[in-house]
Structure 1
């Protein structure tokens, strides 16, 4: 049984990498293992770096990659690695004992990994065959339509689910939904509550046969959104809020700020304030 170690971060969903992995697995035959190693990224926005967010961002990449590979009848194991890609790779080599390594990067003109001679260092240290896949996913894109979903108190609202189902249309397997839930305060119970909300909406999307993964984010929804856009290439954004009379996000002009800065389509989904209705 052969083992293939795939090391990638922002280019993990690129079509070229996925084709290389499929070809290697086909050549290796039944029983070939795929280990997907994703080094953690450090967010650029916000005054505080939340460990949960950094970990979740890497886990989202792994979850989405594994689901796609599973659709291709390829079993894959995820490994969240050290922020340094060389250290992450060598840690994975020591743990999983692969027969070969595939490293995916941006082109040399923009890749920080290549400026550190990553490929040559891994070859020399591991003694294994290393395939380098260079992908400009910003120019070429990825074989999915990716929607970033930003929600907190309204994450489990029926209005949001209906909107996302309509967005997926007749091709639900061609759409990816990345859900981010700001944690409304520091870590601890705030993070736990945000994680529960995130898990609920992701479970609802998966039950509707949609491909989704989620993470919690910075307490400030604008910072959480901008960090998610740093980590993921997205096509559009959906922001779910309470009605204007109850929404702090709308009072902070979140939707328009994100629309102006990103130049991406931003859809605003307003969810009925059921807590206020029940109180009344």
Structure 2
């Protein structure tokens, strides 16, 4: 009986982690629960059998309809440290005086905050929140906001957005995604956003996808590009080593940002 209770408690903790973060890695659950990897995988398999979560490569993910689109406010409280680390690492791909595009999303909003330190940028975005972050009279930045229909994630999408992007050519696009998967590629739960993301990619000389590790294995309703269309993927060190290997085989360049600052200055060397 004691073993049954303990298993139930473990599984409740796993479900809690998945509900809060949208997913959980086996390695993190091993550390949190103080049990073996085999035990965690067995618990995940049981919870998946009960239809309470989805088994994914390296862990578990929350069940959800592929068309379910979380709002910006809900996503903005999740994995904030990882998103900030990704944003800092992505900054190297924006040079002074460059033209950049940013899609909508909480990670691209974090990138926008970092871009405030880069002088003389011309910015194109379909995100009112990104535009608000970067709009600053006298800064030397030019911010162009597309029109369009607003989604729950605060993206402006649809024909008006596409018309605003037509004929534009930017040096780099910072692209946020709902999910990425080796087979499904880059995905979103919103069909109109999928089309707008394709339009953003079409106008960029370089595509830099910014996505924290929890996005791996998440598949939304619509695929809008394969992984090999990604020039650079910037993610965080929550990504399991085996997942890094898989992604590195598909994208042009994989950058893994360190979430926690190094303890020793020599770590920078």
Q: TM-score of the superposition, structure 1-length normalised? A: 0.27
